[in-house]
């Protein structure tokens, strides 16, 4: 498991005493404009999927599980071959995978552009290169794994829009990469933030993201998350 998950609460508090405030500041949510260009799903499409990476998948998954219109959000790996999609390999930086989340959503309730707005606003900081908060390495990179030209164009145009608006103090480093495959992570990673609310890591780095979603984008916030396990 992740080293952070193995540390005791006391050890985590001590370890974050120096970096906690800095990391929290770096991951602070930013109120962003909606995309000027969005994408309508094909009329016959009942569901659509998006794959995003933005640091530890626990927090990214949790944010989208609390988003209206999302039908499922699964933690996993993208950017490498199937045989390398194993947590011990990925977390050690031995693969080309990123920790990612596959989001299945109802395009009649929420758009791809709206999901991008949530990703950039509250789910992660797109200006951090190969890291998020206390986690570092290419497997924690900011990335959008687009599935078609439609998703690629919306993402490219939105990043350009945000850069022109200078909504972030630093340059957006999010990579746009064609999706080749997504591999679900091990069961113990699924619904982690919901099932472990008292984890010091979740309390410090992930719960604030959910609060930011509720505060900044209340129109898309859902109190009860949609979980992979199906639990209520």
Is pTM beyond 0.85? Reply is yes
Query: Token pair for residue 2?
Result: 């992740």
Question: Is 50 exceeded by the pLDDT of residue 190?
Answer: yes
State the average pLDDT for the chain. 89
DSSP annotation of 35 reads P
Q: Over pLDDT 90: what percentage of the chain? A: 82
* Cβ neighbours around 41 below 10 Å, total: 16
Question: Is 60 exceeded by the pLDDT of residue 86?
Answer: yes
* pLDDT score for 39: 81
* 191-228 tens-digit pLDDT: 999 999 999 999 999 999 999 999 999 999 999 999 99
Catalytic residues: 56
* 136-162 tens-digit pLDDT: 999 999 999 999 999 999 999 999 999
Instruction: Spell out where the chain has E strands.
Output: 48-54, 70-78, 98-105, 131-132, 135-136, 142-146, 175-178, 182-184
**CATH 3.30.1600.10, domain 3-220, yes or no:** no
* pLDDT score for 24: 42
Dist CA 211 CA 129 (whole Å): 24
* pLDDT score for 26: 41
Positive or negative, the CA dihedral 215, 62, 120, 43 is negative
Dist CA 9 CA 31 (whole Å): 32
Rounded to 5 degrees, what are φ and ψ at 129?
A: -90, 120
* pLDDT score for 34: 97
* Cβ neighbours around 16 below 10 Å, total: 21
């Amino acid at each position: 498991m992740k080293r952070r998950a193995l540390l005791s609460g006391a050890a985590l508090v001590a370890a974050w005493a120096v970096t906690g405030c800095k990391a929290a500041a770096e991951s602070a949510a930013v109120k962003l404009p909606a995309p000027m260009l969005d994408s309508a799903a094909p009329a016959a499409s009942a569901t659509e999927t998006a794959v995003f990476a933005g640091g530890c998948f626990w927090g990214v998954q949790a944010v989208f599980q609390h988003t209206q219109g999302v039908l499922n959000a699964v933690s996993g790996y993208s950017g490498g071959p199937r045989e390398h999609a194993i947590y011990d390999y990925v977390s050690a930086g031995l693969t080309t995978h990123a920790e990612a989340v596959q989001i299945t959503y109802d395009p009649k309730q929420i758009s791809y552009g709206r999901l991008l707005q949530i990703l950039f606003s509250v789910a992660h900081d797109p200006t951090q290169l190969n890291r998020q908060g206390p986690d570092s390495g290419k497997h924690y990179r900011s990335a959008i794994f687009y599935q078609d030209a439609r998703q690629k164009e919306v993402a490219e145009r939105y990043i350009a829009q945000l850069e022109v608006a200078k909504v972030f103090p630093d340059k957006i480093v999010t990579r746009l990469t064609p999706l080749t495959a997504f591999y679900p992570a091990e069961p113990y990673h699924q619904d982690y933030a919901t099932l472990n609310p008292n984890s010091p890591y979740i309390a410090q780095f992930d719960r604030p993201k959910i609060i930011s979603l509720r505060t900044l984008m209340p129109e898309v916030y859902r109190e009860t998350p949609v979980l992979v396990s199906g639990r209520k």
